[in-house]
Structures are given as C-alpha cells and as structure tokens.
Structure 1
Amino acid sequence: MQFPESWLREFCNPPLSTEQLAETLTMAGLEVEELKPVAPPFSKIVVGEIKEAVQHPNADRLRVCQVDAGQGGALLNIVCGAPNARVGIRVPVALVGAELPPGDDGKPFLIKTGKLRGVESQGMLCSARELKLSEDHGGLLELAADAPIGEDIRKHLALDDTLFTLKLTPNLAHCLSVYGVARELAAITGAPLKTLDFPAVPAQHAQKLAVKISAPDLCGRFSGRIVRGVDPKAKTPQWMVDRLARCGQRSVTALVDISNYVMFELGRPSHIFDLDKIHGGLDVRWGQPGEQLKLLNGNTVTVDEKVGVIADDREVESLAGIMGGDATAVSDDTQNIYAEAAFWFPKAIAGRSRRFNFSTDAGHRFERGVDPGQTVEHLERITQLIIDICGGEAGPMDDVVAHLPKAEPVNLRVARAAKVIGMPLTQAQCADALTRLGLPLTQGDGVITVQPPSYRFDLTIEEDLIEEVVRLMGYNQLPTTPPLAPITAKIRAEAERSPFAVRRALASLGYQETINFSFVEARWEHELAGNPDPIKLLNPIASQMSVMRSSLLGSLLQVLKFNLDRRAERVRVFELGRVFLRDATAQNTDTTVAGFHQPMRVAGVAYGRNDGLQWGRKDAAVDFFDVKGDIEALLAPRKPSFEVGEHPAMHPGRSARVLLDGRGIGFVGELHPKWRQGYEFAQAPVLFELELDAVLQRAVPVFKTVSKHQAVERDIAVIVAERVSHAQLMAAIHTAPTQGLLRAATLFDVYRPKPAKAGEANTSSWLAADEKSLAVRLTLNSEEATLTEAEIESSVQAVLAQLARDVGARLRA
C-alpha cells in the first residue's frame, strides 16, 4: 500500500523524522518496503502567469510569451513551443539559473539566457514531465487560477513529501488505509490520534431503493442512499487528485475519485450506481450458472453459484465486493446516483477475482476483512464529499442488516505471554500495550480478557494478543537468549562426499549449474521420462506446470533450447535436484511422504563443440564418448561400466546404461531423433542422468606400496566378432590367470575393414565382414622381482587363452 507521509501526519504526527517514522512502523510489523520522494530535486522554479503570447517571427510552432514570475513587476521574455501556452494561465517558470531534474543522461539541466531563432528567452515554461512529476508531455503544467505568483513551485504543490510503500501481511487488514496506519502509529508512539467525525447528512427527500439480502452468508450488511441532481462533470479538487496520484491511483471522474479517496482514507471500498439504470430494486445473492456481466474494465465474465453478485430485477449489475458492472456505471449523463457501502464476508470474496484473472483494491480489502460496524458512518463521509463536489440532494440512509460476525472474547494469560515472548512481563505492561491499541479489556488475576473491536478480524486466539503485546513493546526490546537445545554436528562418513563436491566437480568439467521448477509439463513426463502416471498437482501455478517431475532431463532440454534461441554456441549445463516417483512402500517420516519416493539425482546436457575455441586441433562436436569421459571423471576413483540400454529420451542405438559395482545408476546417450527434430537442434545433444546417492559414494584411499621393479608392456591384437563389446573384452582380460602380474589393460586401436567397392575384391581377407581387430596394451609387474621372459610370455598366453574361451578371440597374424 502506498500513501504520502503528509496525509499520515494529518491524522497522527509524532516528533519523528521520515527515516525514524519508517523504522518505527517496520519494527512494529508494518514493513516499510520503500521510501520515495514525491518529486526529484530542482530549484528556482516558481509560479508564473502568461500576460502576453504572440507568434514567434521566425518559427511557426513557437510563441514569445511575456510572463509575470513575481520578479518585482518586470515581465520575463520567454520563448515557448507548448500548444497550450496562452494568456491568463499560471504555470511553472524556471528562472535563469534554475536547475531542472536530471535527464536520461543523469546530468542536471541548467537554465540560461539564450536565443531561440533570434529571440532572447529569459527562462523556461515547464511541463509536468520536465519536472518529473508525471509522463504527461502534452503541454505546460497548468496550475490553479489562484496560485500565488512568484511562490516556489515545491511549496505550492507540496512536493517536499515522501511516498511510503508498506508491505503488509494478510492479518493486517485494519492497516489497509491511511487512518488505519495512523491508528497503529498513535498506539506505538503515544502521539495523539485525530478523532474522526461523521455528521449525518440531512435527508432532503424521502426516496429509497429497495434492497434485499438473499445470501446472508455472502453479505452481512448493506447500507445505501440515493443522491439526486448530482453534476457528474464536476471537476475533482486538485488536492484530492494529488492525494490519489500519490497513492498510485489516477483521477477518473469526481464520483469515482470520491469512492477511491474514502477507500484509501478509511479502508472502506464502496460503489456508486447510476440510479436511473437500475431496474426495480437490488438483490444481493449468489450468482446463477451461466449468468454474464460486463465489468467496468471491459471484460465480460460468466458467474456461477460460488460468486456473489448484486442484481436488479432484470440482470446482474455488479460482482459483489470486487467490481461494478458497465450497465449501471455513472457517466456524463448521470443525474441521480445510489451510493452503497456494504460488509462482505471475507471467505465469500477470497479468491473470486483470481478466477477471472484480475484483482482489485476493493477485493484485496474485502477478502482480508473490512469493518462491518461503520458502513453508515463511512457512507455519511462519502455523501458529504459528493454534495460538496458534485452537488445534489441526499435521501434517507437505508441500512439493511442480515447477519454480522460476532467477535468472541479472547483471554491472555500473562504467564503464558512471558513464556512465549521469552522475557519477564507484568500484567500492567500487557494491559498498557492492549489499551494503547484501543482494545476494550477487563482484567482478572493474571488474565486479561479482550473484546476485539469490529475492525480487528485477526484477533481470535491467545497468540494473536501475545503478538500485539510484543509489537507494542518493540521487537528490538527482546533479549538475546541462546538456545538451550543441544546441537550435535552431523559428521559425514569418510566414504561419502557432499553434494557441493559433486557440483564443484561438474563445474571443473565445464558445466554450469541450473535450478529449475520441480513441476513440469505432463507431455515431458509421458514422452521424455516414459512415465504414464505422473504425480498431478491439485492447484498448479500454470497449465504447463501441472505434474511433478520424475526426471531432470526435460528441464535441462528447456534450458538448452532457451540458450540456443539466444545464439549460444556451446552449452554445458547440469542440475542437482529431486524427482518424484510413486512408491506404495514409502512411509511418512520427517523427510518423506507416504506413497511417494523423492530421490535426488544429478543430470547434465552437453551441446556444441567438445572444447572451447582454440587453435591446437580441429573443431569437433561433442559426442557420446566425451560425456562418457565426464561421467568417469565424476565417479573417479570408482570405475563405472557401461552396457547397451534404452531410455525414452535417448537415441536407441547411441545410449548406454551406467553401472557401478554391477548396479545400474543411470543412463547416458544422445537425444532421441524425434526430440531433436521437435526442438530443432542443429546437432544431437548428449545427456546423462545419475542417482545422486551413488555419485556421492567414494572409495576410501588405501595405502599401497609402489613396486621397486620396472613394469613391462606387451601389445596384443586379437580378432573378435563385431558384437563383442569393450566391457566383455576387458572382463575376459582381467579374469585371466596371470598370477597377479597384470596391472592394467588398455584398448588403443580398433580396426574394421573398409567396405569393398562394387567389382573389387576384399583386401582384408584375414577379416570377415562381421569381425573387427582390437589392439590392447597389457601392463605387467611384480612386487617381488623383475619379471623374466618366461613369466611375461606365460601371462600373455593366459590372457589370450581366456579371450578365446570367453569372447572367441584369435590372435591376429
């Protein structure tokens, strides 16, 4: 909520500076989110009157004005190009030496004597935009006809003021008005609060409008009166226009402005109907399915039995507590009006405007609670303003009461308050705080009973009163008390690393972390994750975020698409987050929910070049083996294995299942061609997704002596069938009976014959069409002695024999 400081100080004016006032409100729970001056700094700008305006001799769009700026009777010669520069109006005049607000370049604008098309100009006539008061640049800022000539414009327009923006919690509905904030300020500081008086406006005719409340659970009270013979074209007083503008509300018409003004002043939303457009009487009821209403904002909405309406004998005329209808809106032809001030139950208004995708100040207040006890008094205030500004004759007040909320007394135990607040308290201190808030109370032995006033919807339980006591005493008065609970640090096992270490490892591999929503498109779950029954949200924040994710890949592909659309050439991103799976065995604990398994996973996407821009080698696109190497580096020193696997998001022939100690922990592979085509990727991104728990595990380092004897390397080349995988080859080698001499085996060459051209013979007659040649380097060593040729040959032959048995390999001739 926004309002000017000067308006607040009219009701309560404590001896505090602006900054102290903001700090006081914030520390009492009314957070001041922003302080902003009404106008930027400028100087030497005064009220002036144009005495003469003639055409510039050398320019069609310029006029030469003689301006009285209160400079001892001498008129200033000022050249002006504004279309409304004319004799008799009073406008802001920037004198020579004046400093205007900074422009777009941030530099102040200094006014000097100069010539415009050969005519001397001794100053400048200003628009509201040039003074940074508004964006209106259609002409000069016209001031009131009685504005004192020569008076500083800052004083005349009260520009030395500050705009307060409060960020209020939902329970502070009684502070959604300037007077409500002043009431709190008076209680906090002890400064006197201006007492409001609402004298009854005498009735000058007996006409009433029949009103019926058919839904007492919607509307508890409906007050209204007829005012005849108003002038809808009356001009809103400038003081009211200025205050509304400083509350963030533009001026519309006098009748609408009056309604808005009282809402900001007293927190009372109201509505003014064109009486002559109402057919018969008014019925306050719930809507009927299919009924339609064109609103003041131009939207046409369809209501149902869960939305409150005000209807006449023919049709719906207004959305209850939210917005009026266009059919009965006041216009320039309005002569007779019906002004209403009602009490709507908060539960009957809450959430209704959001169903129609808009919100209003009235709905914001009514769904939090508006005082039902002063509808008549506030309507008297509205009526008096209407008569003062628009004229007219008021009729009798009509107050229909159906059902008002009854506030139950609330007890405050002083001992309980002291325990909750955490500091010693006396009954006198508690009673003083509650009395300053204007709460009626009675006292007993250690117990204070409060009867909440009609404007305090938030006082229902003992904790509410405890909060009021501590607010009035001051949160800064609370003692600093260390917690008494024992705190034991949770030591991570040595065989486990932290998620931060995983993030750091991936960052060192060139990946950048992203954080995405846990709710995603249902299509992603069905097609990308292969999840036919995702967990649906009861109240999604958007239609495209309707289910909980069971995979991180969909979010990462969206991030990739977002970056590529902005011409990123090389993208490597990862996410470490939670996924959500159905699991009937899951039980309720402090970290789990029954029926749902919520494991953590780590996933990544690589796209573009496999290396950054450099000169040492030719550019190559990232492929499966680049990301496979990243996974091996991430899991090191543990060594994963890879086997052919299928994943709904990955290419069926270019993806693999990641195994660790024989257990599957995830997948890696290229994006499926249909998804690549759907996202319009120029090349196939490579993805991986792993279980975080498995990634966090690491082998504890074990001491092992370094051999004193030199290792021996032997290369062998074997011919195997095309179907034999690298994993099968290595498994056979490491199971060979080498008497513990084999230290490592590395595949360093793969040879496949080139397909023979038509009419040519196959040059690789030693290889069949379905065979390939694999070259492996064996590293042999012993802890005891230097290896002999016999031991080396025995180990090599044992490896060859094992390869022949397990994978059908034969030594290449």
Structure 2
Amino acid sequence: MQFPESWLRTFVDPQLTTDQLSHALTMAGLEVEDLRPAAPPTSKIVVGQVLEVVKHPDADKLNVCQVDAGTGATLNIVCGAPNVAPGIKVPVALVGAQLPPAEEGAAPFAIKLSKLRGVESQGMLCSARELKLSEDHSGLMILPEDTPIGQDIRETLNLDDTIFEIKLTPNKADCLSVFGVARETSAITGASLRPLEIKPAQVTLDETLPVKISAPDLCGRFSGRVIRGVNARAKSPQWMVQRLERSGQRSISALVDISNYVMLELGRPSHVFDLDKIHGGMDVRWGRPGETLKLLNGNTVELDETVGVIADEQHIESLAGIMGGDSTAVTLDTTNIYLEAAFWWPDSIRGRSRKYNFSTDAGHRFERGVDYATTVEHIERITQLILDICGGAAGPVDDQIVNVPKREPVKMRVSRANRIIGIKIDADEIAQIFTRLGLTFERSDDTFSVMPPSYRFDIEIEEDLIEEVARIYGFEKIPARPPVATSEMLATNETQRSIHVIRHALAARDYAETVNFSFVDAEWEQDFAGNDKPVRLLNPIASQLSVMRTTLFGSLIHVLRTNLNRRAADRVRVFEAGRVFLHDPSIKGRRTHGGRFRAAEDDRRARLRPGARRAVGRVHAHGRLLRREGRSRSLAGAGSGTFRESGTSGAASGTQCAYRSEWPRSRLDWRIASALDAEI
C-alpha cells in the first residue's frame, strides 16, 4: 500500500513528525517498508506565465517566449515544446536553477544564461519529466490557471511530500486505503479522524438498469447508477493526478482516474461501464464452460463455473470483482455510463486472478474482504467527482442486498486478555481502546461483547480482540521479562534428543539452517522423488510452487545452486529440518524430515543422510554426529528414500541411516555436480 503523507494528513493529522508517524504505524502492525521523498531536490524553479510566443528566426522547431516569472522583469526564454502557448502557466527554471540529473548518480543539471541559435535564453520552461515528476515528456507541464506567479514550484506541487509504502499482512484489508490507514492512525495516536462529507447527488434522471443477482454466494450486494451526458474528454484535476501518481497509479482518463482514486481513497474497487455498449439488463452469475471474455488488459480468458461474471443479454461484460471486459470499456467518446459498486464474497474471488496468471488491485482487495455496508456511499462519492469533473445527469441508485455477512458479537474476558498479554490492563483502558478503534461493545463485569464493524473481517474470535488491545496499548509498553516459575533441569534421555539440540549441534559444526517453502516444482518431485502423483495445490501462489514436497533434497539443491551461482562462499554447508507431505492414506498428519548438505568446490566432497519422524538428516565425513546422536530417533532406512533410483547405503548400530545416490542429470549442472562429487 503506497500513498503520499499529505493525503493521509487530510483525514488525520497527529502531532508527530514523519519518522515518528512511521514508527508508530510499524509498532502497531502496519510495517512501513519505505519512506522516500515525492521529488528529488531542486532550486530556483518558480511558476511563470507565458505572455507571448513568436517563432525563432533561425530554427523551425523553436519558439521565443516572453515569460513573467515574478522577478519584476519579463524573461526571454527559448522553448521547443509543442504545447507552448500564450497565457499558460508552467514551471520556469531561472538562471542558476538546479534540476535533477538526467541519470542517477550524476551531478544536478544547472541552468545558465545561454544562446540558442543566436537568441539569448534566460531560463528554461520545464516538463514533468525534466523535474522527475513523471515520464510524461510530450510537452510542458501546464499548471492550473489560479496558480500564483512567482511561487516556488516545490510549494505549488507539494514536492516536499513523503511517500509511505506500507507492507500489510493479509488480515489487514481494512487498511488497503488511505482512509483505512487514517482510521488506524487515529486509533494509534488518539488524533481526531476527519471523515469525508459525502452527500447524495442530485437525481435529475429517472432511469435505472435492470440487474439480476443469480448467484448470491458470489455477490451479496450490488449497487449501480446510470449517469448520462458525461464529458469523457474532461481533464483530470492536477491534485487527483498527483495523488494517483504518488500512490503508484498512472493517469489514464477522467472516468478511469476517478474510479481508481476512490478505490485508493476509501478501499472499494468499482467499475465504470459504457452504458451504450450494454445489451439489455445485467445478470450477476457464475460462468459457464465454453464462455470466453476479452479483458481490459487485452487477454482473452476461458471461463467456467468456478469464476464469477457480470453478463448482459448477449455477452459476458466483466470478470466479477477482478477486471472489466474490453467490450464495455469507457473511451474518450463515451457519453453515458453505468457505475457499479458491489460486495463480492472473498471466497468467490480468491485465487481467480492467479488462475489466469495476472493480479489486479480490485481482486487483491475483494479476496481479503471489502466493507459490505458502504456500497451506496461509495457510489455517491464517485458520482460527486464525476459530476464535478465530467458533468452529466445522475439517475437514482439501485441497491440490491441479497446475502451479506451476518456478524455475531465476539466476547473477550479481561482476565484472559491480561493473562495472554502478560500485564494488567484495566477494563476502563480496554474500553477506551475499543472506542478509539471504532468498535461498538457492551460491558459486563469481566467481559466485553464486541460487535465487529462491517469493514473488519479479521475480528472473529477472542484472541483477535486481545491482539487489538495489545496493538493499540503498545507493544513497546509491554515489558520483556521472563515468567517467574520454579524450574528444574532434567536429564535428557539419550533416546529423546530434541530437534532443537540437533539443530544446535549442526550449527556448532558451521552448518547453516535453511527454511524453504513446502511448495515445490512438480518437476522436482519427479526428478528427486520419482513421484509423478504429488499432492497438488488447488491454488498455487506461483506455477513453480504447485505441489507439496515429499523430500527435502530438491529444496537443498536449490539452496546449493543459489549459493554457488552467487559465489556466496567458498564452502556451502547447509541443513534443513522440515515437513514433507506424503500421499498415503495410511499416514495421518505430516512427518518432519531432515536433510543436510556439505559441499565445497575446493575439496569436492558431499554427504547426505535422510531422517525420519522429528529427526534431522545429518552429514559428517567422520561420523561424529552419528556417534553422538545416531540413536536420538529411529531413522528411516536408505531404502525408504524415495528420490534415489539406485545407489549404495550405509548403516550404524544396525540402523540404515545414509546412502549415496545417483542424481538426475536434468537437475545438476557441472558446478553443482562438482561440489557434490557427483558423476554426470
């Protein structure tokens, strides 16, 4: 989640510096990953107005401009921009100005008094790209007509703003908007929250579009409005474009910009259809096998009964909650539109983007949960902006509520909260915390009964409320002290060595523990485990992480390859204790296996040994670990290793515990083979 600090402070303005605010958010669970200036340093760049434009006497593509920059004298500036014209206001770099360098790391670009084809130029008129504000270099950056002449451009464009980039955990969908972060900031700091004043638009059109919700398990609420007579060619205001760009969005057109802006502002994705391209009414339903849809990104996708769609009487018009269709997209020639804002059930959206190998901001939000109580409010906000910027006549809002979540109160015991948090927080302070969070509650003796808001999908059980109390109370205020209890050191039976002890023993021998995904490439399972029927994921996070592993060897080979490719060290000594997933109904639960590699390009040696239940595979040329811990757990024999096609095995104290194997040619390049002393 990325946004400018100035936008956040329009909703809440705590008496904290930027760094203090960043720290407060991070300590409350909204990790600020990056703080960066909105623009690079500049100097002596002011607002100027072009008074006169004449052709350069010796250059066809240059103009000589007379410019008022508030200096008390008219400046003579040579300019080659195609959009220069009398009356416009633009950024003017005066003589002595410092502009951002063309390349990163270079010296700033200094403006000097110069002559261009024999005509003196007393400065430079600037584009947005020359100020490093965007990649737009089609012409001069034209400023609003009411911008004061002579004003420093950093003040005009708020270039001293700071960009916040926040890493949100999946449960914090309520913070996927500037207002959502402001709501959290208010709760954390106690500063007052200033919500938007959203007034219903004046209805001057008596028209609605028929909408049928055939799949209430897909869409629980659907709100829409017809607006006619809009000017799609209207220009998005500078303040909106600036906020969009500083939030990582590029300006496209006024209608699209408004929809994106409200999504970033309030957290709800919406869609704008070209009304004249819709055939009849809308039907919100599940897709059908054989149906296809060309999306806004140009991709054509095949649909099935697991994917939600919005269809009219002839075609599929939108991939529900993810992306609109190309056939009803708005263009600069659009004059009549249909606004849509809906509540899509998270389970019906989750994973659908990955099914088609792309992701969208809309899908990212809907699959985590979006406020189901404010669809009409958001339609009104979008309408408000469209009428102000593009004009038009609005019809009434058609709001259909068919299946929204039924929230139940969540109870929290003060005594349990104090026991889990580890300190005593009295009930009155907890009540204040809940009030700051905007939670409605009833209080009786030791118990709070809290009704989760419609925008908080992460509050379901008592522990969720305890987490909220700890977050807002402040993790830094909770003392880090060990529990006081009598303890007695017990002798550990040699046959009950813990995995913790084995990890430490390996680390003491200069082995680094690795932690890898349990998801692996299906080809790994075939190559390393001979397993052509692995446990497959229904919803993989990436194509190369599509199955559950049954061996650790592939993961360790990947670590080995990565280190060798990057020459991270002359010697690579790694081990892993992790879970494997076996497709065997006779095995209930998961087994923890281990694997360990020692590879060195200098001595070309490697050993490996598989472990079994709660055991870690260990390797050592001299067998010291084997002698110390060989009986710590019953070890899987080499014959049970699934990846080897052939090889030799070894035993200690009658227990098979190690083997040497042939490795798949497809997985070992010559450097890895050399490090493992393997033959190719």
Choose which of 668, 675, 686 in structure 1 pairs with 2:665. 675
Residues 191-200 or 360-369, more deviating: 191-200
Alpha carbons 2:81, 2:139 under 8 Å: kept: yes
In structure 2, relative to structure 1, the CA distance for the partners of 1:214 and 1:117 (3 Å cut) is same
C-alpha change, 1:106 and 1:399, in structure 2 (3 Å) is same
* 1:262-661 equivalent positions in 2, closer than 5 A: 262-484=262-484, 521=521, 523=523, 526=526, 531=530, 536-538=535-537, 541-545=541-545, 546=547, 548=549, 550=551, 552=553, 556=557, 573=572, 575-578=574-577, 598-604=592-598, 634-635=622-623
Q: Distance in 2 between matches of 1:433 and 1:649?
A: 55
- Distance in 1 of aligned mates of 2:370 and 2:123: 52
Aligned 1:22-33 pairs, distance under 5 A: 22-33=22-33
SS in 2 for 1:297: coil
Aligned counterpart, 1:186: 186
Would you say the 8 A contact 1:603–1:688 is kept in 2? no
Q: Cα offset for 1:576?
A: 2.8
- Determine the structure 2 residue equivalent to 1:171: 171
User: Who is 1:733 aligned against?
Assistant: none
Match of residue 737 from structure 1: none
User: Which amino acid is 1:310 matched to?
Assistant: I
Q: Secondary structure at the match of 1:10?
A: coil
Judging changes above 3 Å, is the alpha-carbon distance between structure 1 residues 236 and 595 closer, same or farther for their aligned structure 2 residues? closer
Aligned residues: 648
Tell whether the 8 Å contact from 2:232 to 2:390 is kept in structure 1 after alignment: yes
Q: Residues of 2 paired with 1:551 and 1:148: CA distance? A: 67
Classify 1:416/1:154 alpha carbon distance in 2 versus 1 (closer, same or farther; 3 Å): same
**Counterpart amino acid of 1:99?**
Q
Cα distance in 1 for partners of 2:672, 2:282 equals 67
Structure 1 pair 64/246, CA: closer, same or farther in 2 (3 Å)? same
Measured after TM superposition, the shift of residue 316 of structure 1 is 1.6
Q: Is the 8 A contact 1:556 1:574 kept in 2?
A: no
Establish whether residue 100 from structure 1 lines up as the match of residue 117 from structure 2.
no
Equivalence for 1:90: 89
| Alpha-carbon distance change, 29 to 517 in structure 1, aligned in 2, over 3 angstroms | closer
- Per the alignment, do residues 486 and 128 of structure 1 end up closer, same or farther by CA in structure 2, a change over 3 Å counting? farther
1:131: how far off? 1.5
Residue 401 of structure 1 aligns with an amino acid whose one-letter code is: I
Greater C-alpha radius of gyration: 1
SS at match of 1:179: helix
Q: Which amino acid aligns with 1:536?
A: V
In 2, the alpha carbon distance for the partners of 1:250 and 1:480 equals 46
- Distance of 2:144 and 2:345 partners within structure 1: 43
Structure with more contact order per residue of length (Cα contacts < 8 Å, sep ≥ 6)? 2
Runs of 5+ in structure 2 lacking a partner?
Answer: 607-618, 628-637
Distance 1:437 1:651 in 2: 60
Pair 1:189–1:571, CA change in 2 (3 A): closer
CA distance in 2, matches of 1:404, 1:85: 54
In structure 2, do the counterparts of structure 1 residues 485 and 160 end up closer, same or farther at CA, with 3 Å as the change threshold? same
Structure 2 counterpart SS, 1:186: helix
Tell me, in whole angstroms, the C-alpha distance in 1 between the residues paired with 2:516 and 2:448. Answer: 50
Distance 1:69 1:199 in 2: 40
SS of residue matched to 1:372: coil
| Corresponding position of 1:246 | 246
Determine if the alignment matches structure 1 residue 235 to structure 2 residue 235: yes
Tell me the SS of whatever aligns to 1:327.
Answer: helix
What is the identity, as a one-letter code, of the residue corresponding to 1:576?
Answer: F
From the superposition, tell whether residues 679 and 467 of structure 1 become closer, same or farther in structure 2 (CA, over 3 Å): closer
Query: In the superposition, relative to structure 1, how do residues 494 and 110 fare at CA in structure 2: closer, same or farther (>3 Å)?
Result: farther
TM-score (norm 1): 0.70
Match of 1:40 in 2: 40
Distance 1:8 1:327, change over 3 A: same
**Cα 1:297/1:151, change in 2 over 3 Å:** same
1:205 matched to 2:205? The reply is yes
Matches of residues 647-796 of structure 1 in structure 2 within 5 Å?
A: 665-667=657-659, 675=665, 681=670, 685=674, 687=676
SS of residue matched to 1:35? strand
CA change 1:220–1:47 in 2 (3 A) is same
Structure 2 Cα separation of the partners of residues 324 and 200 of structure 1: 26
Question: Which residue identity does 1:92 align to in structure 2?
Answer: P
Task: Give, in angstroms, the shift of residue 152 of structure 1.
Answer: 0.9
Q: 1:229 to 1:499 in 2, by over 3 A?
A: closer
Go from structure 1 to structure 2 and tell me whether the alpha carbon gap of 1:151 and 1:25 turns closer, same or farther (over 3 Å shift).
same
Partner of 2:216: 216
* Deviation of 1:650 (Å): 10
- Partner SS for 1:139: coil
Q: Describe the superposition over 1:611-668 as per-residue Cα deviations: whole angstroms up to 9, x where unpaired.
A: 8xxxxxxxxxx799xxxxxx996448999xxxxx99999999xx86667678765455
How far is the alpha carbon of 1:150 from its aligned partner?
1.1
Match of 1:153 in 2: 153
Pairwise CA distance, 1:281 = 1.0
Q: Displacement of 1:176 after TM fit?
A: 2.1
Cα offset, 1:22, TM superposition: 2.1
Paired AA for residue 553 in structure 2: L
Percent identical residues: 55
| SS of 2:288 mapped into structure 1 | coil
Task: Please tell me whether the aligned partners of residues 514 and 573 of structure 1 are also in contact (alpha carbons under 8 angstroms).
Answer: no
User: Could you tell me which residue of structure 2 aligns to residue 121 of structure 1?
Assistant: 121
Is contact 1:70-1:149 (8 Å) kept? yes
Give the drift of 1:129: 2.1
DSSP 3-state at the match of 1:34:
strand
Shift of 1:153: 0.6
Is the CA contact (8 Å cut-off) linking 1:227 and 1:336 kept in structure 2?
A: yes
| Structure 1: segments with no counterpart, 5+ residues | 588-592, 612-621, 625-630, 640-644, 690-813
For residues 26 and 107 of structure 1, do their structure 2 counterparts lie closer, same or farther at Cα, with a shift above 3 Å needed? same
For the structure 1 residues 456 and 201, does the alpha-carbon distance in structure 2 shift closer, same or farther, using more than 3 Å as the test? same
Provide the alpha-carbon RMSD of the alignment: 4.1
How high is the TM-score relative to the length of structure 2?
0.82
CA distance in 2, matches of 1:376, 1:482: 51
- Given the superposition, is the C-alpha separation of residues 667 and 298 from structure 1 closer, same or farther in structure 2, using an over 3 Å criterion? same
User: Is the contact between residue 564 and residue 671 of structure 2 (CA under 8 Å) also seen in structure 1?
Assistant: no
